[in-house]
Amino acid sequence: MSRKKKIISLFLTWAILSGNLQAETDNLTGKEPEKKIEISFGNTKLFSIRPKNAISEGLGDYIPTRAALFLAESLVTKQWSLVGALNIPFSGEMEIVNGELISKIPSPIFCLGGRWSPLNYTMESRTVVEGQVAGLLGRSIGNQNGDIFFPTIGTRIHISKPSGFGMYMGALFSFRRDSLSLIYGVGNRF
């Protein structure tokens, strides 16, 4: 073998070995692949009484609507994501009027929008606590009075583990529907 071929073969051997060593070194750092999708499900307590009535008359005779909440998020960056939500009521809007329980069945709701995490704190256990805000455009599905579009804003505290498991709790307010929702649930990032 000529000297030039030996140098080239040594260089190629070194390049191949160093590439393999680099790949192995990355795996040993505990660095996990970035998770881009979050699927979660939870519960909603929906108060759809008008805010003025709630302040003047109180909520003593009002029972919130319970609903299942399904969320799907696509993380665009560490702080921003696209959000899709489906809210399916378990029970009707219940109100006690003159000692009688009145129930009205609300329609399911579908929303699309964005979410921003302005606050982010990583704990020693690598658990991440985020303060999040969201803006969504919702639409009722199958409403007896006609379906409407409505803007929704929300905020939540989101806690996630490095494994992908997460949980959240927060609140949403929907304009045009004049409803306030308390939300909580669990999910996983993939």
Contacts of 64 (CB under 8 A, 6+ apart): 45, 46, 47, 182
The DSSP bridge partners found for residue 170 are 156, 183
Residue 114, pLDDT score: 98
For residue 53, the model assigns a pLDDT of: 58
The alpha-helical segments, DSSP class H, found in 47-163 are 51-57
- pLDDT tens for the chain, 190 residues long, are 577 777 777 666 655 555 544 444 444 444 555 789 999 999 999 887 654 555 566 555 566 789 999 999 999 998 999 999 999 998 877 767 788 877 777 889 999 999 999 999 999 888 999 999 999 999 999 887 788 899 999 999 999 999 999 999 999 999 987 888 999 999 999 9
Q: Which pLDDT value is given to residue 24?
A: 41
**Between β-strands 165-174 and 149-160, what pairing exists: parallel, antiparallel or unpaired?**
antiparallel
| pLDDT number for residue 25 | 41
| 26 backbone dihedrals φ, ψ, rounded to 5° | -60, -40
CATH of domain 37-189: 2.40.160.20
Rounded to an integer, what distance in angstroms lies between the CA atom of residue 111 and that of residue 146?
17
Q: What does the pLDDT read at residue 176? A: 81
pLDDT at 27: 43
Q: How far is CA 15 from CA 21, 105, 116, 122, in A?
A: 10, 68, 42, 37
**Distance between CA 43 and CA 113 in Å, rounded?**
19
Q: How far apart are CA 92 and CA 121, in angstroms?
A: 39
Residue for token pair 């979660």:
40
CA 112 to each of CA 20, 30, 85, 97: distance values in angstroms, whole numbers, following the listed order: 44, 35, 7, 35
pLDDT at 144: 78
